[in-house]
Structure 1
Amino acid sequence: MSHFLRGARVGAALCAALVLNATAAAAETTTWPDKPVTFIIPFPAGGSIDAVMRAISPQLSERLGQTVVIENVGGASGSIGAGRVAQAKPDGTTLLAGSINDVVLQPLVNSHLRYGTDDFEPVSLVFTSPVILVARKDLPQSNIDEVVQALRADPESLSYGSPGQGTFQHVVIEDLQRRTATKMLHVPYKGAAPLVNDLLGGQIDMAVMAPPTALPHLQQGRIKSLGVISGQRLSAYPDLPTINESGAVQGMEMTGWVGVLAPKGVPPERLQRVRDALAAVMQTPAVRERVQAMGMESATSYSKASFDTRIRDDLSVLRALNLTIQP
């Protein structure tokens, strides 16, 4: 047999294999998922991630052609639920509705975790959320400049609470203290609920909160804002100044996010199916308006590449803070 004929047959066989693989992938896209898809939320019910994911789950179910289950697996600053997804079977039916806290921060500060940031496959960003520095309503200081002045005169004379050691909220305040050369008294709690209760009761002076948690209390006058920790004001609440409009702080921006991630090894066509469904649902006017009303912003890009870039950028920023690793 001539080399020409042999090469032609090999080429034809390769083309046939490629066509079969493409056909199989296309066929699976129409048949998968063949069982319920579970989104693990690594925090207790009632938070902003929970509210958004439960609101969009019926539409996701319709687009995926399968039941969507929302499961809350809280504990250890989100690392228990995230770890469960990292170790899940990579078939695409167990996904993480994760955040910067459990996906990026916890692997940096907790040496006991059984997963790392690279154990996840980014699917899509869902929404972003700046945080707000808030204070008890009767705090004598009315803005961040006055807070900094008081702390420089008397270090640790003011306190702040966080949902726990090493959480995103804790890191935000640590960064603020470094920028302003101040020191506050840190009061770590086991979760956000007791923190909010103590702030409302005046047992602590300040805290960092996500807009969905802070805004109802701000609107009722039960707490006051010292500044949105962002480069721009909230689009739905433009009357709230940013912390960067003060004289004491410039260029500080710590934005949280929520996105969907999968364990490594899930076939890419399955992840694309989820990505397409998320993008279609999140871009509907009703969903975008609901997210904005909560003080957050729907993602502007739902691609894997843009989400992966955001994760890498946040990893670099948080590493640069030289965070203390928990023993």
Structure 2
Amino acid sequence: MNSPLKTLMAAAAIALASLSGAALAQSYPTRPVTLMVPYPAGGLSDVIARSVNNTLGKQLGQPVVIENLGGASGSIAAQKVLNGASDGYTVFQGSPNELILAPLAIASIKFKSEDFRLVQMIATAQIAFLARKDFPASTVDEFLDQARKAAQQGRPLTYASVGPGSFYHLLGEHLSKVTGIPMVHVPYKGAAPAEQDLLASQVDFFLAPYGKKYDDMHKSGRVKVLAMLNSERLDNVKSYPAITESTQLKNFTFNI
């Protein structure tokens, strides 16, 4: 689980692997390239894509157009890329979340991670422990005490994820297991819609890939950042406790 987020490019890698030396000498690309993002606009995956597409376009000499397609823990977008032509004009920005975990969790997914080839890693992400703004806790330990009390009263807390079988779903299940506190999973098509419901207090918490926007939301009182799932405080998030500073979750360290 503590593996780095891996950005895998599918169709472009297949095309490059099959091109002969003569074909490589031909002009490529001659038209825009599509960068497929397997979640709706507004989430961290989308932000990453929009931070690299212009630079990639300059290197290729053609525009790189982002297409967002969420659903089924990112597998709908992955399958669309696989079903398309292996001509290098559609590439997939993905991770083990879509290419390993989703096929294991969803029986209808038929592709395997081996169907994709890693071209380049472009990002890693820290995991933030986010709670709704009106949740009556300011630390992870206080949060768990409240969660335990709510479960005993028959009102288990709800947690968001980007889909069944996703890394964030497994994190929530693991949290429930290691604490012995029943919790209810609420899947979304991506981080952006999950975040919207967290902001609206429709879901209690979200173990989410951290972006600077959460720092702004925390400071403006729209969401609570209780901790980072790091082993120690890192320079860019020093104002937030590492999960190891809690009493009940000292070993709950993860990143992607």
Q: TM-score, normalised by structure 2?
A: 0.79
**Counterparts of 2:233 and 2:208 in 1: how far apart (Å)?**
15
Which residue is 2:199 aligned to? 200
Q: Is the 8 A contact 2:233 2:240 kept in 1?
A: yes
In the alignment, is residue 106 of structure 1 matched against residue 102 of structure 2? yes
Q: What amino acid maps onto 1:221 in structure 2? A: G
Q: What amino acid maps onto 1:245 in structure 2? A: E
In the alignment, is residue 44 of structure 1 matched against residue 28 of structure 2? no
Shift of 1:214: 2.6
What SS does structure 2 have at the residue aligned with 1:123?
Answer: coil
Kindly tell me: are residues 168 and 214 of structure 1, through their superposed partners in 2, closer, same or farther at Cα, counting changes over 3 Å? farther
Shift of 1:233: 3.3
- 176-185 vs 207-216, which deviates more? 207-216
What SS does structure 2 have at the residue aligned with 1:121?
Answer: coil
Q: 1:75 aligns with which of 66, 71, 77?
A: 71
Q: What amino acid maps onto 1:160 in structure 2? A: Y
Identity %: 38
Which residue is 1:254 aligned to? 254
Q: What amino acid maps onto 1:57 in structure 2? A: N
**Counterparts of 1:185 and 1:33 in 2: how far apart (Å)?**
47
Shift of 1:171: 1.4
Question: How many corresponding residue pairs?
Answer: 233
In the alignment, is residue 86 of structure 1 matched against residue 82 of structure 2? yes
Larger Rg: 1
**Counterparts of 1:218 and 1:152 in 2: how far apart (Å)?**
24
**Counterparts of 1:50 and 1:195 in 2: how far apart (Å)?**
14
Shift of 1:27: 7.3
Shift of 1:29: 5.3
Shift of 1:197: 3.3
Kindly tell me: are residues 26 and 180 of structure 1, through their superposed partners in 2, closer, same or farther at Cα, counting changes over 3 Å? farther
Q: What amino acid maps onto 2:86 in structure 1? A: P
Matches within 5 A, 1:23-42: 25=21, 28=24, 31-42=27-38
Matches within 5 A, 1:1-327: 25=21, 28=24, 31-155=27-151, 156-212=155-211, 214-256=214-256
What SS does structure 2 have at the residue aligned with 1:128?
Answer: coil
**Counterparts of 2:59 and 2:205 in 1: how far apart (Å)?**
43
Deviation sequence 1:232-280 (CA, Å, 0-9, x none): 4343221111212211112323323xxxxxxxxxxxxxxxxxxxxxxxx
Shift of 1:173: 1.1
Deviation sequence 1:42-96 (CA, Å, 0-9, x none): 1122222222322322221221233322222222221111111223333322210
**Counterparts of 1:186 and 1:28 in 2: how far apart (Å)?**
48
Shift of 1:193: 4.1
**Counterparts of 2:105 and 2:138 in 1: how far apart (Å)?**
33
Shift of 1:26: 7.8
Q: Root-mean-square deviation (CA), in Å?
A: 2.5
Shift of 1:163: 3.7
Structure 2: gaps (5+ residues): 1-19
**Counterparts of 1:154 and 1:234 in 2: how far apart (Å)?**
32
Shift of 1:180: 2.0
Deviation sequence 1:80-120 (CA, Å, 0-9, x none): 11111223333322210113321222111111013121110
Kindly tell me: are residues 162 and 48 of structure 1, through their superposed partners in 2, closer, same or farther at Cα, counting changes over 3 Å? closer
What SS does structure 1 have at the residue aligned with 2:250?
Answer: coil
Kindly tell me: are residues 242 and 63 of structure 1, through their superposed partners in 2, closer, same or farther at Cα, counting changes over 3 Å? same
Q: What amino acid maps onto 1:240 in structure 2? A: Y
Q: Is the 8 A contact 2:228 2:242 kept in 1?
A: yes
Q: What amino acid maps onto 1:114 in structure 2? A: K
Shift of 1:133: 1.2
